Amino acid sequence: MLGLWEPVHLGIYSSYQVLSDTGFEEKMSENVQTFTDGNFDESVLKSGDTVLVDFWAEWCGPCKRLAPTVDALASDYLGKVTVGKLNVDENPKVAEKYQVRGIPTLLLFKGGQVVESVVGLAQKDVLKRVIEKHI
């Protein structure tokens, strides 16, 4: 990784990408976990926490616009809600299991069950209201 930072303005949101040897990559907050087909059951379904999962893909413009909001929610709810992202192209089994047909899709899990879902780009205050109902 070369470690060069480039600001990226995405509508009203700002994010940062890091220049690596292969190009620019989205830089996630350290508070956002990466979920996969391999760790989903343990990290989400068997977790005692409320878990917000952002289903996304690299090519999805609205997903990239939502990323700073997801990062902010992870910071805002640190210690109360686990927040993570699942790339649907790299992890199709979980996306198929939960019938994720459009992205971005956010699913909120509590006790291993989906308690809320939001499909499409959503404002941070809307997502906070969804989360607040379950913590």
Q: Out of 60, 67, 94, 95, which one is annotated catalytic?
A: 60
Residue 18, amino acid: V
- Is residue 81 within 8 Å of 135, Cβ to Cβ? yes
- Is residue 8 within 8 Å of 23, Cβ to Cβ? no
Instruction: Answer yes or no: 63 catalytic.
Output: yes
Instruction: Answer yes or no: 76 catalytic.
Output: no
Q: Out of 63, 106, 108, 131, which one is annotated catalytic?
A: 63
Which residues neighbour 70 within 8 Å (Cβ) at sequence distance 6 or greater? 32, 52, 54, 83, 85, 106
Residues involved in catalysis: 60, 63
